[in-house]
Amino acid sequence: MATKTVEQRQRAEAIRWIEEPIYWARKFGGASFDPWSGQEEFWLEYGKILNAKIKKYKNLPLTDEEKRYARKIGISIMAGQGVGKGATISLAGEHYLFALQAVRPKVVCTAPAGPQLQSSLWPEFGAWLQRSELLGELFEKIANRVFLKEDKDRGTVSRIEPRTVQPNANPDEQKVVLAGIHATGVLYLIDEASGVPEAVFEPVEGGLTDPLSMVIVIFNPTKRNGFAAETHRKNREMWVCLHWDGEALRKEKLENPGRFAWFNEDIQLELARKYGKDSDFYRVRVRGLPPNQSSTTLISYESVMDALERRTVILPGDPLVLPVDVAGAGAQADESIVGTLRGTTLLKMKAFKFHDTTTLGDAVAGQLKNELMGLEPEMQYAVGVDVIGMGRGVYDHLVNIQQIRRCFGIDVSERPLEPQRFHRLRDQVWWELREAFMEEKTMCLALTDERGVPYVDDELVAQLTSIMWGEVNGKIKVQGKGESSGIPGVPPLAVSPDRADTLAMGHWLLKHYCSTMPLAARLRRSRRTAREASWKVV
């Protein structure tokens, strides 16, 4: 048998890079490419779709299996968090650009607006170029492009680029995000697809008329409905559907010491301890399964996800509200939490580790003054403090020392305003927060850090979606801490829902301590009242 020439061996190797993408990934990804079984399955399925489409494009004979794969839209991965989603699809995007360079393909990636795209997914493309010397020699990354270096002189028509989805845009504007992209091959990479507006997906199907085009959708299933969820249900036959379970990855890592150093298996244990394996938060974030939406869950997971995506316009007259949840004393005490709301929009949530009532009171007063500095002098505001335990000292300091005029003490153990419906005030406070999320749909979670960068407070999400409720003696009771939750069959909370309690208190302040009358009308009324009470008029 004749020995293959160097040129023949190189050609065979190049063909193998296309026909076996996982072989290419192992070679070019280097030591950083350490896939667990879920990722290996993805690479095999991706290779089947890509090569079936290539054979069909070249009019080569197809097996029955290849015919099925050639018709697929792409791959949809329903996954838990921290299982390697961004690293996987970014490397796949670089392979697609490399493998199809002869037809000058395009790769477009998108994700929900904000940190997910610019701070999480897009940097992964550059990270691979730093991890692997081979990839660094092949590709170059600039601010909004990744391209093959040898293609640079051709204007980098063949490229990877990010497309940002603006949540405040109307549906017609959102459709433009992935519209107008055409080439013989286009790969659409859509990360955290549950949070991407539905209108964004409409142009994708039109773009799939290009012969080598395909879509990779990967998402944490925060919703039971929508484009991403339907890829695993009624549209399943058009997709290769995969499921990445964080528990399976944890088991694999424990069975393979030294592998998967990028995965933190201890987080699962902490989430299970705090919220339980049966909670929707654990189910969605760890196992990569849609929420159960149990009828005994006080606030549904989907309604909290909607609040994260909802964007409301803050009007000049929207009241400023600062709720304060004060931690108890002791080394193991929770943090004290101070929230900032304008109307029904939560803007800030700050944690304080010190438990001295004077220091905390001064911090709250300072935050209030900072918030009021940029607002009208007549701006309506309210500060609320949970006065149980150490909160009484903070409240007294704010009222007597800091002279905060509109500071209110709230004792959630007291009698509710509607005693025929609720056992105590805490039950009513929480129930009204539930209504704001699930019925009125007015609550908006738009947290930003000190630099103004949006972020999602996972602890807040977990607390909001893990609390149960029940009917006891004909009245509503909400799960709490202590020796007993007070609800048959429901254990007490393992941890204090301090962040969620803060938001519940903020909504209570807004609803019961602030006027809903527009600012101009309130000012007219206050001036009229002042004239009528004047001694000059009398």
Mean pLDDT confidence for 392-417: 95
Task: State the average pLDDT for the chain.
Answer: 88
Asked if pLDDT for residue 2 goes beyond 70, the answer is: no
Largest CA distance in the chain: 118
Element spanning 526, H or E: helix 519-532
Mean pLDDT confidence for 362-367: 95
Asked if pLDDT for residue 282 goes beyond 90, the answer is: yes
Angle at the Cα of 288 from the Cα atoms of 284 and 289, rounded to 5 degrees: 70
Stronger pLDDT, 93 or 175, i.e. the higher one? 93
> How confident is the model at residue 517, as a pLDDT?
56
pTM here? 0.80
Contact predicate 21/53, CB 8 Å: no
In terms of C-beta distances under 8 Å and separation of at least 24 residues, what long-range contacts does 266-273 make, across chains too?
A: 267/82, 271/462, 273/494
In this structure, how many other beta carbons lie within 10 angstroms of the beta carbon of residue 156?
A: 18
> How confident is the model at residue 177, as a pLDDT?
76
Class at the top of the CATH hierarchy for domain 6-244: alpha beta
Taking each helix axis from N to C terminus, what angle separates 6-19 and 85-99, rounded to the nearest 10 degrees?
140
DSSP readout, 467-498? Answer: -BEEEETTEEEE--SSS--SSTT-PPPSS--H
In the chain, where the domains are located: 6-244, 301-520
DSSP readout, 134-148? Answer: HHHHHEEEETTEEEE
Say how far apart CA 251 and CA 334 lie, in whole Å: 32
Class at the top of the CATH hierarchy for domain 301-520: alpha beta
Sheet holding 444-445, edge to edge: 407-410, 381-386, 320-325, 336-342, 345-352, 444-445
| Digit-coded pLDDT (tens) for 483-510 | 677 888 888 888 889 999 999 999 999 9
